[in-house]
Structure 1
């Protein structure tokens, strides 16, 4: 049974991507099959893993989510990149910004990412979703797809206040 974990915080610079990379590679080093999902239009997770031009990749998370929304067929491993340190990556890029807008008018818009993850998660022990620093539709999708959430946060007043807001959103 696969565990799906979203790494989320609406504040940027809290360590979501760094935690995703290190946790993913650490799990892979322990023999676990891990898929990292870059659900951030900035593509920082993709870039961090050495794919330095995420906007030029032929297939990304945006590609498969678009096909899913349009009910077009796609291969379950379409676009997944293999990394030398033992993790697989579904890359993200700027095209996810357009997905944010498209999701607003999509039926079952909160579960589009979950539908995609359900097609691949049986091959993995862990699916880690690196979220964008917002509470937009992609982050809502990641939360709806996840079994649990890791919220990287600094021990300061404003980040803690933001974490409280995120916890309220997760509860909803």
Structure 2
């Protein structure tokens, strides 16, 4: 059994530092010798772009590819989608295709555990998995929360950010 910790970074409010926290926490853990996987669970692909992949829509295999295969009950090779970064972290990237996947999740069997199935395929190889969520409480965020051992909710000392934390 793996000792891997899965942490979801989420807030319904955008622009509060979810992606920035994911990148910096991931790199800091990697600098301490931890094996870290960052998962970009946002169709805007800000985490993917933050790690230098400026054209995420050109990537052949992404989180949406893997999750679609799981939904369709096809053989899954999560490792084919993982990118290795010079900062010592691995990345399961995202792109705009993820927005279409959210619609498919609504009618999927075990729809809240598709991401957990994906993570379970690779977590034995990591100490920490950080899931950067989109600013919403949709099916992808529900999947991240179902897969997570713990949650970090970045917020700012502003009314709307605190309101997102409350929700």
Normalised to the residue count of structure 2, the TM-score between the two structures is 0.97
**Number of residues of Structure 1 aligned to a counterpart in Structure 2:** 165
- What is the rounded CA distance, in whole Å, between the counterparts of 1:162 and 1:40 in structure 2? 17
Residue of 23, 37, 42 corresponding to 2:25: 23
- What is the rounded CA distance, in whole Å, between the counterparts of 2:102 and 2:77 in structure 1? 23
- What is the rounded CA distance, in whole Å, between the counterparts of 1:100 and 1:107 in structure 2? 13
Aligned to 1:78, what secondary structure does the other structure show? helix
Instruction: Say whether residues 1:129 and 2:131 are aligned partners.
Output: yes
Aligned twin of 1:14: 16
Aligned twin of 1:169: none
Q: How does 1:102-113 map to 2 (within 5 A)?
A: 102-113=104-115
Q: CA deviation at 1:81?
A: 0.1
Bigger drift between 68-77 and 23-32 goes to: 68-77
Q: CA deviation at 1:159?
A: 1.5
Q: How does 1:37-56 map to 2 (within 5 A)?
A: 37-56=39-58
Aligned twin of 1:170: none
Checking the alignment, whether the CA contact within 8 Å between 2:13 and 2:160 is kept in structure 1 is no
Offset from partner CA, 1:11-43 (integer Å, 9 cap, x none): 110000000000000000000000000000000
Residue of 34, 37, 41 corresponding to 1:35: 37
Offset from partner CA, 1:94-147 (integer Å, 9 cap, x none): 000011000000011000000110111110000000000111100110011000
How much is the aligned-residue C-alpha RMSD, in angstroms? 0.7
Checking the alignment, whether the CA contact within 8 Å between 1:64 and 1:78 is kept in structure 2 is no
Checking the alignment, whether the CA contact within 8 Å between 1:37 and 1:89 is kept in structure 2 is yes
The gaps in structure 1 that reach 5 residues or longer are 166-172
Q: CA deviation at 1:78?
A: 1.7
Q: CA deviation at 1:79?
A: 0.6
The gaps in structure 2 that reach 5 residues or longer are none
- What is the rounded CA distance, in whole Å, between the counterparts of 1:142 and 1:96 in structure 2? 14
- What is the rounded CA distance, in whole Å, between the counterparts of 2:128 and 2:43 in structure 1? 22
- What is the rounded CA distance, in whole Å, between the counterparts of 1:95 and 1:76 in structure 2? 17
